[in-house]
């Protein structure tokens, strides 16, 4: 995939972003929102680099493959990595273990799992996109930082000063990507609650659209504009007890009573954020909706990465390599120039999740994708994978 100098995202023609220096340019990505915050832009850059890393290796292994075949096979591997990491490393920290089991969200440890059901609608529930999947807004920190090799703070940048701008990671042809990625990998997010930092509460996009907006207000109004059922309706749908009075919200009841006429009027976004999760990050109502949605994504996807369909399935060995070696920690290390990182990037470093050298983390065995009709290649182990020469 095309990149700019510094192995950065390519420049977008006529892009609309905030340029804080003369060298800044608006990068092109698969989602036009990639400039909303520096960390979002970094995630787009991450998987472009991972795609190019894998495609280069596949081309070296299989010189007879066309560019299109290399691209499509790399794309297939990246999708499988994202699906595996999302369902097995990320989601278990968002919803509780019971929800993961109830909706069959865990992947099998090894081998295939043909879960496809053509009667399942894999499209996105409006309520999911409007409320539960915006829980992360409450976790946004007031500052985005850069860390040195020893993980001590190098620079701090206010979130409101860098919204809609790729400047932080574009500077000096991408030389600050590594220091920003250290912060992303190790700094704990804020607790999920009903509070929002000032930078996105009163100053959202204040530079480009003064005097700025309020992200929570936008979320609430978007739900009302699109007719999302109220919080109590979703509690009932999920088999939870409906709240009968504002007292059920405990310490926040009086605040809600001042803004809503009845308890049945409370918006899904507000009510869900006020719940405290017991075994996961979100409360039971958000956990329910997220579980339903990700089950639909999985079961309604004919091309789910664990499928055994002979028309497009990975081989069993390829699939097992994806399952055993796919981790966001490894992808960060390999593509962002880190020397070490904790084994599980979704958890902060500690004695049970200590830093490891990047070279020691498992990587995909791409020799499992060797096309034997192409030129002979030797596996790094020294073994020969050409049956004629062996």
Q: State how far the Cα of 251 lies from the Cα of 256, in Å rounded to an integer.
A: 10
Least confident of 97-106, 145-154, 261-270: 145-154
Model confidence band, residue 382 (pLDDT cutoffs 50, 70, 90): low
Using the predicted structure, report yes or no on whether residue 139 has a pLDDT greater than 90: yes
**Arithmetic mean of pLDDT, 96-111:** 95
Q: CB-based burial of residue 363 (10 Å sphere; 0-12 exposed, 13-18 middle, 19+ buried)? A: middle
pTM over 0.95: no
Give dist(CA 134, CA 118) in Å, integer. 29
Round to whole Å and give the CA distance between 110 and 322: 10
**Within its chain, how far is the Cα of 241 from the centroid?**
32
Element (H, E) at 189: none
Return phi, psi of residue 101, to 5°: -75, -40
CB 154 within 8 A of CB 147: yes
Under the phi-then-psi rule, with left for phi > 0, alpha for psi from -120 to 50, and beta for the rest, what region is 111?
Answer: left
Residue 137 assigned as binding residue? yes
Burial track 49-63 (b if 16+ CB lie within 10 A, e otherwise): bbbbebbebbbebbe
User: Which residue ranges make up each domain of the chain?
Assistant: 38-116+304-369
Assign residue 354 a region (left: φ > 0; alpha: ψ between -120 and 50; beta: otherwise).
Answer: beta
3-class SS of residue 77: helix
Please tell me whether residue 306 adopts helix, strand or coil conformation. Answer: coil
Q: How confident is the model at residue 23 (pLDDT cuts 50, 70, 90)?
A: confident
* Nearest CA among 112, 198, 104 for reference residue 160: 198
What DSSP string runs through 240-303? PPPP-SGGGGGGGHHHHHHH-SSGGG--HHHHHHHS--SSSSS-HHHHHHHHHHHHHHHHT-TT
pLDDT at 206: 73
């Amino acid at each position: 995939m095309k990149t700019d100098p510094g192995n950065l995202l390519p420049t977008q023609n006529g892009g609309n972003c905030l340029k804080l220096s003369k060298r800044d340019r608006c990068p092109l990505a698969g989602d036009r929102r990639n400039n909303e915050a520096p960390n979002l832009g970094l995630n787009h850059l991450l998987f472009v680099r991972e795609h190019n890393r894998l495609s280069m290796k596949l081309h070296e292994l299989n010189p007879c493959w066309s560019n299109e075949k290399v691209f499509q096979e790399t794309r297939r591997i990246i999708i499988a990595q994202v699906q595996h990491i999302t369902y097995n490393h990320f989601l278990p920290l968002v919803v509780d273990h019971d929800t993961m089991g109830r909706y069959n969200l865990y992947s099998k440890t090894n081998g295939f799992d043909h879960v496809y059901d053509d009667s399942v609608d894999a499209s996105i529930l409006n309520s999911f996109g409007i409320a539960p999947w915006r829980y992360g807004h409450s976790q946004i920190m007031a500052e985005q930082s850069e860390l040195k090799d020893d993980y001590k703070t190098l620079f701090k940048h206010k979130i409101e000063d860098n919204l809609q701008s790729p400047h932080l990671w574009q500077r000096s042809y991408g030389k600050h990507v590594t220091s920003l990625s250290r912060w992303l990998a190790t700094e704990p997010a804020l607790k999920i609650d009903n509070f929002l930092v000032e930078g996105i509460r009163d100053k959202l996009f204040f530079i480009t659209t003064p005097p700025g907006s309020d992200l929570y207000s936008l979320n609430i109004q978007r739900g009302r504009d699109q007719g999302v059922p109220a919080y109590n309706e979703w509690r009932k749908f999920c088999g939870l007890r409906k709240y009968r009075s504002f007292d059920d919200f405990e310490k926040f009841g009086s605040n809600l009573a001042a803004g809503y006429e009845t308890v049945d009027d409370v918006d899904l976004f507000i009510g869900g954020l006020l719940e405290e999760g017991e075994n996961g990050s979100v409360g039971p109502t958000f956990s329910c909706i997220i579980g339903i949605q990700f089950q639909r994504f999985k079961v309604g996807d004919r091309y789910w990465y664990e499928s055994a369909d002979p028309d497009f399935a990975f081989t069993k060995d390829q699939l097992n390599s994806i399952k055993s070696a796919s981790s966001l920690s490894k992808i960060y290390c390999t593509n962002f120039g880190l020397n070490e990182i904790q084994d599980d990037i979704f958890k902060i470093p500690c004695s049970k999740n200590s830093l490891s050298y990047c070279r020691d983390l498992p990587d995909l065995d791409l020799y499992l994708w060797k096309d034997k009709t192409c030129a002979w290649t030797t596996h790094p182990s020294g073994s020969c994978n050409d049956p004629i020469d062996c």
